[in-house]
Amino acid sequence: MDGRRFRKWLLTGCLAAGAVGCNRHAVRTPAADATGAMPVTGVPVTTPQAKKSFFGSSSPQPVVPAEPGEEVAKKGPMSPETLVACADVQLASAFDEKLPPPGRQELLDAAREKYQKALQQAPKNRAALLGLARYYARVEDREKAIKHYKDYLKLYPTDKDVAHEVARAHAQWRDWPGAVAWCEFTLKIDPENLAVRKTMAFCLARDGQWERGFQAMYEVMPEAQARYLMARVLEHQNHIAQSRAQVQLALKADPNYADAREFLAELDQVLTGAPGGVPNPNALQLAGYNEQP
């Protein structure tokens, strides 16, 4: 079963969860006394014996259906884990580009309600707390997203991956100072985490703190790569001259750095080929470059 069919199957099950089938037209067969019951006519009525089949077994007796609500009482409510699993699928499906807006909103509401119901049953459930925080981050309700992330980290303060996730969420919102602050918070949990330090380096550079950004990059990677990445950030911010200077320094540190050489050629083409000498940064070929903090 591929991922798409599995998601469709689980989503269908989530939407139908809690529904209980029952036969309202079936009638219970009253139990009769084995010795017979006395009706109003005064003639005793005996219970017929089950007929033996040709193979010697008794004929099957009619199944008495459960009253409405009996099966629900036996099964009980959905567990927090099941609620969160269904909510995760609904949240992911809500952002399917092929889904029309009404269907998207319905799925988002259903996912939020399941996360909240899971937290009602288990207020410290890690998956439910994190799921609700991610829900609000996806719908760009930043205030509620941060609140639920903080609620999670109060209960699980050593979870460096979630703290890093909050930093990246701020970066996606282009809140560079907030991203840097959360990187610093994460590094208090794990001071040697290279991924977090690289994120902080990018966010510092995007915040205009180029020297600190470069120094943070230089601490986790070779100088040539650090200067090349700084050049990319500067170009992205339309600082073409400063970007070119960083590429030249990258090649000075490593003359064989192919990426830096190709990028320098692109910059030179833009600078020399621009009408009136005004560079056009949109003319740069950025294929293969993905600036992700």
Domain residue ranges of the chain, discontinuous segments joined by +? 1-15+76-149, 222-293
Q: Which residues of 224-234 are buried (b: 16+ CB within 10 A; e: fewer)?
A: bbbbbbbbbbb
What is the tens place of the pLDDT at every residue in 102-149? 889 999 999 999 999 999 999 999 999 999 999 999 999 999 999 999
The per-residue DSSP string of 129-163 comes to HHHHHHHHHHTT-HHHHHHHHHHHHHHSTT-HHHH
Cα 265–chain centre separation: 40
Looking at per-residue pLDDT, the higher value among 265 and 35 belongs to 265
DSSP state of 284: S
The token pair at 229 is: 């990445």
Q: Is the pTM of this model over 0.85?
A: no
Phi then psi for residue 45, to 5 deg, are -115, 125
Residues 241/259, Cβ–Cβ less than 8 Å: no
The set of residues, in sequence order, having a beta carbon less than 8 Å from that of 32 and lying 6+ positions away, is 45, 47
Q: How far is CA 30 from CA 33, 42, 46, 149, 198, in A?
A: 10, 19, 13, 58, 75
What is the structure's pLDDT at 77? 83
What is the structure's pLDDT at 102? 86
User: How far is the C-alpha of 123 from the C-alpha of 159, rounded, in Å?
Assistant: 18
Residue 246 pLDDT > 50: yes
What is the structure's pLDDT at 269? 83
What is the tens place of the pLDDT at every residue in 45-61? 455 455 544 344 455 55
pLDDT band at 8 (very low <50, low <70, confident <90, very high): low
User: How far is the C-alpha of 252 from the C-alpha of 248, rounded, in Å?
Assistant: 6
Task: Tell me what the pLDDT averaged over the chain comes to.
Answer: 79
User: How far is the C-alpha of 84 from the C-alpha of 81, rounded, in Å?
Assistant: 5
Residues 195/164, Cβ–Cβ less than 8 Å: yes
Residues 207/178, Cβ–Cβ less than 8 Å: no
Helix axes 80-94, 3-15, angle to 10 degrees: 120
Looking at per-residue pLDDT, the higher value among 26 and 151 belongs to 151
What is the tens place of the pLDDT at every residue in 139-195? 999 999 999 999 999 999 999 999 999 999 999 999 999 999 999 999 999 999 999
